[in-house]
Amino acid sequence: MKFLDEFFNYIHALDFDKLARLFWYFLIFEFALHFVFDLLIVSLWRFVKRFRQDRIDYARQALFRSRPLVSIIVPGKNEGENIYQLVTSLREQSYTNFELIVIDDGSDDDTPTICRTLKKNGLIAMYLRCDVRGGKASAANLGLRYARGEYIVHLDADCSYDHDAIENILVPFFYDSDIGAVGGNVIVRNYQASVCTTLQAIEYYNTISIGRIARSELGIYRVISGAFGAFRRSALVAVGGWDIGPGLDGDVTVKIRKLGYKISFEPSAVCQTSAPKTFKALIKQRLRWDKSLVRFRMRKHRDVFYPNETFRWSNFISFVENVMYGFVFNIKWFVYLGDMAFNFTSTLPFIILMNFLMYVFVNYFKFLFFSLLRDRKNAPVYYFLPYIILIVPYFNIFLRTVRLIAHFQEIVFKASYNDPWNPSKSSRYAREMKL
Amino acid sequence: METITNIQQQKEAHNDRIVFGHQVYGLVGAQMAFRVELLVGFDALIIDASDPDFTRLAIRKIRGHYNPELYLKPIFLINHRQVRDTLIDSLHDGILFSYDHLAEVSKKVDEMFMLSTQLDQHLPTNYEAQVFKKVLNFMFTRGRKVFTPLLDVNSVIGYSYPELSVNFERQEEAQVLDILDWAEKEGLIWPDFHERVYLCNNCSGGYLSYREVCPHCHSSNLASQDLVHHFPCAFIGPISEFKNPVDSTLSCPKCNKQLRHIGVDYDKPSVINKCNNCSSSFQDMFVKAKCMSCEQDTDVQYLVSRQINTYRFTKKGRTAAVNGFFSSSADTEDIFGTVPLETMRVMLHYAMERLKRIDGLRTNVSVLYIENMYELVHRMGTRSKKPLLTELVNIIHETISPQDFVSVETGMVFYMTLNDMSLSQAEKIVQGLDLKLEQALNKNFNGFKASIRTNTVALEPGIPVADQLQKLSQALYADR
- Pairing relation of β-strands B75-78 and B94-96? parallel
At residue A407's C-alpha, the angle toward residues A403 and A409, to 5°, is 115
Mean pLDDT of A151-163: 93
Stretch among A4-13, A132-141, A293-302 having the lowest mean pLDDT:
A293-302
Q: Is residue B457 in a domain?
A: yes
Judged by CB atoms closer than 8 Å, whether chains meet at B236 and A240 is answered as no
DSSP class of A417: G
Backbone phi and psi for residue A366, each to the nearest 5 degrees, phi listed first: -60, -45
Q: Which of B214, B235, B279 to mutate to test the interface with A (most CBs of A within 10 A)?
A: B235
> B286 — contact with chain A (CB < 8 Å)?
no
- Condensed to tens digits (0 to 9), the pLDDT of residues A223-279 reads 899 899 999 999 999 999 999 878 788 899 999 999 999 999 999 999 999 999 999
pLDDT grade, residue A124 (50/70/90)?
very high
Least Cα distance to A337 among A22, A7, A29 occurs for A22
Residue pair B36/B65 in contact (Cβ under 8 Å)? The answer is yes
Residue A373 confidence (pLDDT): 79
- How many residues in chain B? 480
C-beta of residue B102 within 8 angstroms of C-beta of residue B135: no
Report the CATH number that the domain containing residue A67 is assigned in CATH. Answer: 3.90.550.10
d(CA A229, CA A247): 14
- Cβ atoms of residues B309 and B149 within 8 Å: yes
Do B368 and B470 fall into the same domain? yes
Domain membership flag for residue A378: no
DSSP reduced 3-state for B446: coil
Report CB contact under 8 Å: A130, B255: no
| B348 shares its domain with B440 | yes
Q: For residues A243 and A260, give the distance between their C-alpha atoms in angstroms, rounded to a whole number.
A: 19
Would you call the peptide bond into A349 cis, given omega within 30 degrees of 0 as the criterion? no
> Cβ–Cβ of A244/B229 closer than 8 Å?
no
3-state secondary structure of A346: coil
Within A121-259, strands assigned E span 126-130, 151-155, 160-161, 179-188, 228-232
Give the pLDDT score at B383. 64
Please name the member of A131, A135, A240 whose beta carbon is closest to the beta carbon of B270.
A131
CA A184 to centroid of chain Cα atoms: 9
Nearest CA in chain B to A248: B234
Is B234 within 8 Å of A130 when comparing Cβ atoms? no
3-state SS class at A45: helix
CB A409 within 8 A of CB A291: yes
Report pLDDT for A384: 92
User: For residue B286, is it within any domain?
Assistant: no
pLDDT digits (tens, 9 = 90+) for B445-468: 877 888 888 989 888 888 888 888
Residue B413 DSSP label: E
Pairing of strands A228-232, B23-28: unpaired
Cα(B431)–Cα(B435) distance, integer angstroms: 6
Q: Does B466 lie in the same domain as B345?
A: yes
> Which residue does chain A place closest to B233, by CA atoms?
A243
Q: How many domains does chain A have?
A: 1
How close B255 comes to chain A (CA, Å)? 9
Output the pLDDT for position B409: 79
**Which residues does chain A have within 8 Å of residue B254's beta carbon, measured at their own beta carbons?**
240-241
Residue length, chain A? 435
Domain containing residue A262: 52-275
In a domain, B423, yes or no: yes
Nearest-neighbour CA in chain B from A77: distance (Å):
14
Spatial strand order in the sheet of B304-313: B146-147, B304-313, B189-199
- The sheet carrying B363-370 orders its strands as B406-409, B413-419, B363-370, B452-458
> CA torsion sign, A206 to A209 to A215 to A216?
negative
In a domain, A221, yes or no: yes
CB-hemisphere CA count at 13 Å for B331?
A: 19
Residue among B232, B264, B282 minimizing CB distance to A126 = B282
B17-20 and B23-28 strand pairing:
antiparallel
Residue B230 lies in a domain: yes
Torsion-angle region of residue B259: left (phi > 0), alpha (psi -120 to 50) or beta? beta
Final residue before a domain boundary, out of B237, B255, B276: B276
- Do B284 and A242 lie within an 8 Å CB cutoff? no
Are B260 and B386 in the same domain? Answer: no
Of B117, B149, B170, which residue constitutes the final position of a domain?
B117
Alpha carbons B180 and B186: distance in angstroms, whole number: 10
Containing structural domain, residue B266: 226-276
Shared-domain flag, residues B263 and B389: no
Q: Both B270 and B365 in a single domain? A: no
Question: In whole angstroms, what is the distance from residue B217 CA to residue A267 CA?
Answer: 41
The reply to whether B256 touches chain A by the CB within 8 Å rule is no
pLDDT of B4: 47
Q: Which residues of B touch A126 (CB under 8 A)?
A: 282
> What residues in A contact B267, CB-CB < 8 Å?
132, 134, 425
Q: Tell whether B178 is covered by a domain.
A: no
In a domain, residue A380? The reply is no
Q: Phi first, then psi: what are they for B20, rounded to 5°?
A: -130, 105
Among chain A residues, CA nearest to B281:
A146
In B, minimum Cα distance to A101 occurs at B282
Select from B216, B239, B270 the residue whose CB has the most chain A CBs within 10 Å, as the one to mutate to test that interface. B270
Question: Alpha carbon of B240 to those of A233, A311, B224, B243: distances in Å?
Answer: 22, 36, 11, 5
Handedness of CA B372, B374, B376, B379 (dihedral sign): negative
Count the Cβ atoms, other than its own, within 10 Å of residue B331: 17
Name which of B236, B266, B270 to mutate to probe chain A: the one with the most chain A Cβ atoms within 10 A of its Cβ: B236
Per DSSP, what are the bridge partners of residue A99?
A: A71
CA angle B14, B19, B22 (to 5 degrees): 150
Mean pLDDT split into 10-residue runs, chain B, 480 residues: 48 66 78 75 87 87 87 88 81 86 85 88 76 90 90 87 88 84 90 93 89 92 94 92 86 90 90 94 91 89 91 87 66 72 86 82 88 75 76 90 85 86 91 92 85 88 83 67
Query: Which pLDDT belongs to residue B3?
Result: 47
The CATH number of residue B67's host domain is: 3.40.50
Average pLDDT for residues A112-141, to the nearest whole number?
92
Q: How far is B262 from chain A (nearest CA, A)?
A: 11
Residues in Cβ contact with A218 at an 8 Å cutoff, skipping those fewer than 6 apart? A41, A317
* Sign of the CA dihedral with B459 first, then B462, B465, and B470 last: negative
> Does a structural domain hold residue B468?
yes
Q: Are A390 and A195 in contact (CB under 8 A)?
A: yes
Considering only CB atoms, A131 lies closest to which of B233, B269, B282, namely B269
pLDDT digits (tens, 9 = 90+) for A279-327: 999 999 999 888 888 888 788 888 888 888 777 888 888 888 888 888 8
Pairwise CB contact (< 8 Å): B231 & A240 = no
Residues B346 and B449 in one domain: yes
**Pick from B93, B117, B141: which residue ends a domain?**
B117
Q: Does A142 contact B265 at a Cβ distance shorter than 8 Å? A: no
- Provide, as residue numbers in chain A, all residues whose Cβ is less than 8 Å from the Cβ of B265: 429
H helices then E strands: how many in chain A?
A: 20, 8
The distance in angstroms from the start CA to the end CA of chain B is 39
User: Is B445 in CB contact (< 8 Å) with chain A?
Assistant: no
**A62 pLDDT exceeds 60?**
yes
Instruction: Name the residue facing B231 among A106, A128, A429 (closest C-beta).
Output: A429
Q: Which residue of A has its CA nearest to B235?
A: A138
Are residues B358 and B272 part of one domain?
no
- Residue A58 domain-assigned? yes
CB pair distance less than 8 Å for A241 and B255: no
Query: Is B240 within 8 Å of chain A by CB?
Result: no
Residue A73 binned pLDDT confidence (cut-offs 50, 70, 90): very high
Contacts of B233 in chain A (CB under 8 A): 240, 243-244, 435
CA distance, residue A403 to nearest chain B CA (Å): 27
CA–CA dist A379, A384 (Å, integer): 8
A/B interface, count of CB pairs below 8 Å = 73
Nearest residue to B348 (alpha-carbon basis) of B474, B473, B464:
B464
Q: Judge whether B234 lies within some domain.
A: yes
Residues B260 and B350 in one domain: no
Do strands B44-48 and A262-273 pair parallel, antiparallel, or not at all (unpaired)? unpaired
A349-354: long-range pairs with CB below 8 Å, 24+: A349/A3, A349/A7, A350/A6, A350/A7, A350/A10, A350/A11, A351/A22, A351/A23, A353/A7, A354/A7, A354/A11, A354/A22, A354/A23
- Total Cβ atoms within 10 A of residue B181: 16
The Cα A27–Cα A20 span in angstroms is 7
What is the rounded radius of gyration, in angstroms, for the C-alpha atoms of chain A? 23
A149 has pLDDT over 80: yes
| ipTM score assigned to the predicted complex | 0.83
Give mean pLDDT, residues A36-55: 87
Name B295's Cβ contacts closer than 8 Å, sequence gap at least 6.
none
Is residue A124 situated within a structural domain?
yes
Binary contact (B283, A128; C-beta < 8 A): yes
Q: Does A28 map to a domain?
A: no
The verdict on a CB contact (< 8 Å) between A240 and B232 is: no
For residues B300 and B306, what is the distance between their CA atoms, to the nearest angstrom?
A: 14
User: CB distance from B285 to chain A under 8 Å?
Assistant: no
Contact (CB<8Å) A141/B236: yes
Chain B nearest-CA residue for A240: B254
CB B370 within 8 A of CB B412: yes
B218 touches chain A (CB under 8 A): no
Nearest-neighbour CA in chain B from A129: distance (Å): 7
Q: A136-146 and A248-258 are packed helices; what angle lies between their axes, rounded to 10 degrees?
A: 50
Q: How many domains does chain B have?
A: 3
Q: What gap in Å lies between CA A305 and CA B446, rounded to an integer? A: 99
> Does A134 sit within 8 Å of B229, measured CB to CB?
yes
Residues B263 and B354 in one domain: no
Inside any domain, residue B326: no
Nearest beta carbon to residue A129 from set B234, B237, B270: B270
Phi, psi for residue B277 in degrees, rounded to 5: -90, -50
Q: What gap in Å lies between CA B43 and CA B64, rounded to an integer? A: 18
Candidate from B229, B255, B265 with C-beta closest to A138: B229
Whether A156 is in a domain gets the answer yes
The count of other CB atoms within 10 Å of the CB of residue B79 is 15
Q: What is the pLDDT of residue B1?
A: 42
Angle between helices A195-203 and A279-292 (to 10 degrees): 30
